[in-house]
Structure 1
């Protein structure tokens, strides 16, 4: 499990498990996929999620 102390410093120790992200070229956004394979969330800007592995 990833830990985040101290709070407010903007970084994480370790990666987020069972999640991945992929880039959607149609709307130029990064989309997060959960452990069941369904899409969970999409970034409002065009930067990738922090600490989430990328799909190839």
Structure 2
């Protein structure tokens, strides 16, 4: 994960690297590891992940 000082301010500068996200046919957003292609996580609230590149 990306880390930027000062710690504890709950902000990240820049995008998360080596990950992308896409929307599933059911409307949920899934996060994929670009190195292995495996799906890492799926959000249940229907909103995209913050700071993760979207696939086309």
Q: Which residue of 2 aligns with 1:32?
A: 31
TM-score w.r.t. structure 2 length? 0.80
CA RMSD in angstroms comes to 1.7
Deviations 1:20-53 (A, max 9, x none): 000012x210000013111110001110000100
Q: How does 1:1-56 map to 2 (within 5 A)?
A: 2-4=2-4, 5-9=6-10, 11-25=11-25, 27-34=26-33, 35-56=35-56
Question: Structure 1, unaligned stretches of length 5 or more?
Answer: none
CA contact (8 A) 1:22 1:55 kept: yes
| Distance of 1:20 and 1:7 partners within structure 2 | 25
